[in-house]
Amino acid sequence: MKSAVKRVISMIPVLLGVMLLIFIMLRIVPGDPVTVLLGEHYSQETIDRLTAAMKLDRPLLEQFISYVLGVLKGDLGISYVSKRPVTMMILQALPYTVKLALMAAAFAWVIGLFAGIIAAVKENKIPDRIFMAFSLAGVSVPVFMSALLLQYIFAFRLKLFPITSDGSILSMLLPAIALGWNSAGSIARLTRSSLIEVMQADYIDTARAKGLKRRSVIFGHALKNSLLPVITMMAIQLSSMLSGAVITESVFGIPGIGRLATTSISNRDMPLLQGTILFTTVVIILGNLIADLLYSVLDPRIRSQM
């Protein structure tokens, strides 16, 4: 338990660092936030009032502290363009991204584990080569390419799916595959190498000497050990999918978190960009934390140290 608490505490400086960097970014970008927010024709008085309200006349440190306190209260600022609270916009976009990420992760896990296990069992034989070539291709293809390809073939040519997504399960299938494709590749590769490594361990000999058949050795003894790193990777991948599939969402027109990021850049909407980056980073940090904790729950050697 002690090390779990320690691990959680160690996140605090990282989170502060993240907020500091995001804060600095806002300062570097040219353009006074007040004039951007108000537009052109406003009296000096209004500008001063708003400056004071946004605490832009205070020292930088004080501004940073009030930014951090605001974030802790869930206040990520107001969008320049829509004039709505950024927190609200993120919460509205979140369900789409969650749905997409869960479907993509499910696809990646099933395909990746299956291919990885088969490849390891048939090491250096034809199925192994085929799966590994596919998975390397999966890692090497840019997401926009697989997304466009799927869209062209299955939505435009075969008309099996809608071209853009409206949030229904059916319309999310293609985006989920496009997004999960890369992850499936890396899961397959990690599963394979980890399983092959575990199969070299001494306890595999023990299991075979005991009279276990190949299948029981793999599923009863090897897989449990080899999946430890894979499960960590899965947790990290899920969190990075949750942190916004910028490309997939932009190709299929899904109004999720990734979409917020792209629109905020094209609209020069700094608070929105900051908010989405902060939100996604927190998701990733939490994902890494969960991955670590999961690992220690699953591995009895680490569990006993906690």
Partner 1 sequence: MNDNNRTSLAEIGEQYGPKEKLIRMCRQNRLAMVSAIVIVLIIVLAILAPVIAPYGEAQQDLLARLQPPSAKHWFGTDELGRDVLSRILYGARVSLVIGIIPSFLSLVGGILLGLLAGYCSGWIDYLIMRLADVMLSFPSLLLAMAIMYTLGRYANSIICLFAALSLVGWASVARVVRSQTLSLKETEYVEAARSIGVRGRRIMLRHILPNCIPSLIVLYTLNVPSCILAESTLSFLGIGVQPPAASWGLMVNQSKSFLFTMPWLAVFPCLAIMIVVLAFNFLGDGLRDVLDPYLENR
Partner 2 sequence: MDEKNVLEIRDLHTSFFTEKGVVRAVNGVDLNVPEGKIIGLVGESGCGKSMTARSVMGLVRYPGKVESGSIRLDGKELTGLKDQDLREVCGNDVSMIFQEPMTSLNPVLRVGHQVEESLLVHHKVNSRKEAKQEVIEMFNHVGIPEAEQRYSCYPHELSGGLRQRVMIAMAMICEPRLLIADEPTTALDVTVEAQILRLMKELCEEHGMSVLLITHNLGVVAEICDEVYVMYAGRIVEHASVFSLFDHTSHPYTKGLLSSIPRIGKNPEYLHTIPGIVPNLLHLPEGCPFSTRCDLALERCRKELPELNAVGENHECRCFEAIKEG
* Among the listed residues 42, 240, 253, 295, the single contact to partner 1 using CB under 8 A: 240
Backbone phi and psi for residue 78, each to the nearest 5 degrees, phi listed first: -115, 135
The rounded distance, in Å, linking the Cα atoms of 7 and 56 is 35
As measured in angstroms, the least distance from the Cβ of 182 to partner 1 is: 10
Nearer to partner 2, 84 or 210 (CB): 210
- Give the H or E element holding residue 189: helix 169-198
Q: Which of 5, 8, 25, 170 binds partner 1 (CB under 8 A)?
A: 25
The interface mask with partner 1, positions 250-279, x = CB under 8 A, is: x----------xx--xx-x----x--xx--
- 183 interacts with partner 1 by CB under 8 A: no
Q: Using the rule CB under 8 A, is 21 a contact of partner 1? A: yes
Q: For residue 304, state whether it binds partner 2 (rule: CB under 8 A).
A: yes
- Among the residue ranges 30-38, 73-81, 175-183, 212-220, the one whose residues contact partner 2 (CB under 8 A): 212-220
Q: Exactly one of 178, 207, 257, 283 binds partner 2 (CB under 8 A); which one?
A: 207
152: DSSP letter: I
* Residue 228 structure tokens: 């430890």
What would the two tokens of residue 265 be? 């850049």
Least distance to partner 1, CB of residue 20, Å: 8
What radius of gyration do the chain's Cα atoms show? 24
Residue number with CB closer to partner 1 (118 or 139): 139
CB 257 within 8 A of CB 280: yes
Which one, 44 or 200, has the nearer CB to partner 2? 200
Cα–Cα distance, 268 to 278 (Å, whole number): 17
Question: Is the CA virtual torsion 67, 268, 82, 55 positive or negative?
Answer: positive
Binding mask 151-190 for partner 2 (x = CB under 8 A): ----------------------------------------
Give residue 34's identity as a one-letter amino acid code: V
Q: Residue 302 interacts with partner 1 (CB under 8 A)?
A: no
Place of tokens 């062209």: 152
Quote the CA–CA distance of 254 and 167 in Å, as a whole number: 7
Distance CA 65, CA 142 (A): 40
Phi, psi for 56 (deg, rounded to 5) = -80, -10
- Residue 212, interface with partner 2 (CB under 8 A)? yes
Task: Assess 141 for contact with partner 1 (CB under 8 A).
Answer: yes
Distances (CA, A) of 8 to 5, 170, 289, 290: 5, 39, 7, 10
Binding residues (CB under 8 A) for partner 2: these are 201-203, 205-214, 216, 220-221, 224-225, 228, 298-301, 304
Binding residues (CB under 8 A) for partner 1: these are 13-14, 17-18, 21, 25, 28-30, 136-137, 139-145, 148-149, 152, 156, 193, 196-197, 200, 202, 240, 243-244, 246-247, 250, 261-262, 265-266, 268, 273, 276-277, 280-281, 284-285, 288
